[in-house]
Structure formats: structure tokens, C-alpha cells
Amino acid sequence: MASIIQDCSSLPNGHIPDYPKEPGSLKDALNAALVEGFECKARYIHTPPKTCDALFSPLPGQESERTHLASHFLTVSVHPVRTAGSPIATNDYLNNHKHGVLGIGIEILVYTTKHLTTVFVSKADTTGYIPNLPPSRTKAVCSASLKWLVKKERSKHPSRKLVISLFARAQDQYLFPGSVDHISKHVLTDRQLIKWWAKVLDSTFLTGTGHGDASQKQGYLTVPGFTGSELRQFYPSGNITIDGREHWLPGHPLRELAETRGISSAAPPRCLLPRFPDDPKARYIIDLDEEVGLTFTDDAPTDSPVKRRNGQWSVIKDLERFWEAMEFRQECSSGRMVGFLWLVISPLNPMGGAAGDDAAVEESQESSSLGAFSNDPASQRRDDTPTPSGQRNPLKRKRKVLTGPIIPRKPRLKGGSSSHTGSSGTLDGMINPTASGEGLILSKDGYDRAMSLLLKGSDFSKLEPAARTTSRWVADVASIAGIQGDWALDIRGEAKVELTRAGEASGQVHDLGASMVRKKKRKTEDDVVDDARTMEQRIEDDAPVIPEHRREANAIAVNVLGTSTVRKKTKPVPL
């Protein structure tokens, strides 16, 4: 941190930016975001950062960039009697149900490299059991969890650029099987979903942020098949600020992110595009790689060594051509559309030396979370002190032969967390996660198993099956973590609702007094005569004015029949 303060002297007027501090717990963030009086249970599972496959393809002849992945999954549930569309008379099982019914779920994946942190919103879904009342509970949960996680990552690496990425594609259900059959679930269209996510990111990060935040934020939107002017229909209102700057721009920041990663913006497009799971553009990248033999699989022979050496595709030579070709993909055509959104958060004073320190911290966090380090100072000295060849370390002793009775140990389930048990001799942090508000830490295998159990064998079509599915999943995750009981966080909303309509802001009804009420006066006969005269006068006033000579000419031109020309009808003579 000393290097950060020293480098801040180069800023104008010696201003030291206010770097993001360590945020509070997730429980506090949800309490502050949800409306006052709303009670629910939040369940949060996540994994420690662990080495994974590279997010970007490496340049030809170079190794892949070392990447760490941390998975986060948050659910929100409500009591069955408070769900939307619940029957008036419920059975004893629903009345005594303690786990609630899952209503909202969001999965976020965090990829960290030496120079860049990528926060990818993988999935977000609802079941329809949470009442759809303003303000939106779904928007509050997604916004609060995303903002809390971004603050947490920025507090670890204040000098590192961070990008939030997601793709908006409407589906009937993502996380909760059978929820599409629930009558209260509202499924958005592609166009509505793109606008919804743009509003969430805009209200969370771009508008209403504090002036002390030492960062620059910029949003980008790309929808294959739409030009820059056509994309403005998806932007939130108030896109242009007072100083003329736009919060959202058409296009993408991929070239900017490439320079942040230390790669030229003129590199092959496959090295500039990220490969997220279940991503439409990632599937297209795999198809393009297989065409030129850039993937080493049994089904795709390496038939183009030249293209493997230069890392180029056959037809797609730049990013502009890639997005044009995406327009004709099945997921982006035939009346469907996919919106790709980015929000780049750049520090105002990035330091070059801090990136290496952040990478070292990342590795130490991964090792400590997996129980690789010991808290014994002697063991640290033994690891740090090199031992010359041919000499034995005097502190190193032979392993003592174990003797005596064998004490049986309780078996540990595969997928359980070792960070809590290794750092402390108690399981209080795991049995009662509400004390810290951080949820459960699982291994990668345990996390994948928990997600698989939610997607398989679940039924959210009706209230009682949804409640039983929730209880089963809560018990399964507790078994994976090796704990007992419920591990939910009790959430109580604290946000005040601002009423903007007149009369609601003060909470009073404005009645007009008797002195202010004027009755309509009944018309008399004189009033009717006056009205008739007034009407005649209006007709005369509105009539066209005819000159005098025109009046005389009209009078002369009138033909008057004489009495001799008038024939009277003869009466019939009676017989």
C-alpha cells in the first residue's frame, strides 16, 4: 500500500484517490438493498480461487495465461404462505415449512489473471413465487450481490482493471426446472431482457456513484444485426451526462482489454475473444477453430499447420467480421436476438508494479484456502531457508513411529470444505454461517455437485413440490459441506420506498373545504334568452361580410314568378 500512496503524487493537486475499502458482509448488502418489511432467507455457496483453463486463447507459440476461477451462487427463498399465487388454505406441511421456497437464483463466475479481473454473470433465474411488487426484489438481489462482489474484488486489487461481462438471451428457465409452468412466473423477451440488464448495470455502477470512487466506468453493448444508432433503443434513460459523456457506447471493449493483458489489439481475433461457459460466441469460436484444425481432438484432425502457426481463421480475419457473422448464427437469427454487455471499471492511476503483487496474493490465497500453508512459524522458516546439498537440516526430524491404540475418525464427505476446519478447530463457522454472513465455502467438485442436484430431479411447477425440492437441495448441500442443519442467512429488508406521486409522499389525503367548492348555478329564463341572443350575435359575427355592390347585384338577379305563370292544381270533381 506504501507504493500506492507514493505513486499518487503524480495526480493533479496531489490528490490521493479513495480506493475501495473492504465491503461488509453479503447479509448486510442484501438487508440494505431489499425493501423494508420484506423477509426472506438467502443461501450462498462459493469456491476459493483455483487454477482453471485460460479464458483467452494464447498467441501462436506462447503459453496460456495463468487464470484462477472462483464460482459464486446465491439463492433467495420466501415462506410458502407469502408466495405469489399461494392458495388461501394451505396444508400443515406448508404452514410448518422452515426452508421456504426458492424464488431467485444468480450464478457469478470470477476469472482473475495478472492484469485483469473478469466478473461473468453466468445464470440468473426466478421461479415466480416471490411477489412481483415494486420495487423489484429480483433487481435488488442481482444488483446487491453483483455490487458486493465487485467491491470485494476491487478491495483486493485496487490497481487492476475489472470488467463485468454477460450475455442476455431469453429462456423459459435457467436454474429452476418446471418453473415455467408456474402461473406467476413472468418470462421476458429477448428485447426486454437486454433492456433489463442494461438498467441493472446502469443503476448499480454508472448512475448515483460517489465522487470519491477512484475509477472510470464505461458500458458497452453489442447486439448482432443492430447498428450503432439502432442500439440506442436498449440504452437506459439519461444515457448522456451533463458534461456530454455517454454511459453506454455501441460496440465492445475487447481491444482495450487486450492491451490491458499485454497483447496487441492487432492480434488474431481468437486471441481477443473470451470463452465463457454456455456462451453463444464461444460455441462459434470452437466451430471456427475446428475448421482450420486449431483444436487437437480426435474428430478434428490438424489439417492446417500453417493456420495453426499464425493462429488465423480461414474467413474471419478481424472482430468486425466476427460480429457480422454472428448475426447469421441460429441463436441470433430467426427472430431471436442476443445482447452482449460489458462494463469496464478502470482505476484512475494504475500502477505497473501492483499487478505482480496481486498475482502473488492470489496464489497465496488459493494455497491458504486449500490448507497448503501452516500457521507454525518454525515451519515457515524451514520452507524459506534453503538447504545446501549434502547437508541435513537440523530442524528436520525423522517421522516418529506411531504406537498405541488406534482412534477412529469420522469419515469426511467428498466435496467438503477444508478451509474452515484447517484454520480453526471448530465447525461453528460452517454450522452457523449467519455469524459471518459469508455462506458456505465448497470445493470445486462439491460446488459442481450442488449445482447438478439443483438442475436434476427438481420440480418448481407447483407450490408443494417446490417446497419439497427446496428442502431436499438444502439438505444435500449441507451433506456435501459436512454440516448439519440449515445454513441460510435471515434477511430483513431495510430500504425505504420513495413515493413520487402527489399525496403519497406526505401520506395525507387533501380534501377541498366547503368554502372552496363552487356549485354550478342553475339557468333562469332570462339567462336562456340571453344565451339565444348571444348565439344569434355569434352567427351574425361569424357570417361572411358581403360588399354593398354584391348585395345589389344579387337582389337584381332574383327571378320572381308572376301570377299568370302560377298554375293551381285542379280539384277532382266527385261523381
- Which residues have a catalytic role annotated? 279
Q: What is the CA radius of gyration of the chain?
A: 37
Rounded Cα distance between 318 and 295, Å, is 20
User: Which residues contact residue 387 at a Cβ distance below 8 angstroms, ignoring those fewer than 6 apart?
Assistant: 393
Give the count of beta carbons closer than 10 Å to the beta carbon of residue 243.
5
Q: What is the DSSP string of 94-141?
A: HHT-SS-EEEEEEEEEEEE-SSEEEEEEEEEEE-S-S---SSPHHHHH
Rounded Cα distance between 478 and 99, Å, is 13
Rounded Cα distance between 387 and 407, Å, is 36
Q: Residue 443: which of 474, 397, 477, 399 has the closest Cα?
A: 477
Rounded Cα distance between 202 and 343, Å, is 9
Give the count of beta carbons closer than 10 Å to the beta carbon of residue 53.
9
Instruction: Give me the half-sphere count of Cα atoms (radius 13 Å) on the Cβ side of residue 482.
Output: 20
- Using DSSP bridges, classify how beta strands 39-46 and 440-441 pair: parallel, antiparallel or unpaired: parallel
Rounded Cα distance between 144 and 162, Å, is 17
Q: Identify the bridge partners of residue 52 per DSSP, sorted by sequence position.
A: 67
Give the count of beta carbons closer than 10 Å to the beta carbon of residue 188.
14
Helix, strand, coil in percent for the chain, rounding step 5: 35, 15, 50
Q: Are 252 and 319 in contact (CB under 8 A)?
A: yes
Q: What is the DSSP string of 483-500?
A: --S--PEEEE--BPPPP-
Is residue 135 reached through a cis peptide bond, with omega within 30 degrees of 0 on the bond before it?
yes
CA angle 67, 71, 77 (to 5 degrees): 165
Q: Identify the bridge partners of residue 166 per DSSP, sorted by sequence position.
A: 341
Give the count of beta carbons closer than 10 Å to the beta carbon of residue 192.
13
User: b/e per residue, 369-383, with b = 16+ CB within 10 A?
Assistant: bbeeeeeeeeeeeee
Give the count of beta carbons closer than 10 Å to the beta carbon of residue 451.
17
Distances (CA, A) of 136 to 72, 139, 497: 22, 5, 11
Residue at 114: amino acid letter = K
Rounded Cα distance between 155 and 506, Å, is 41
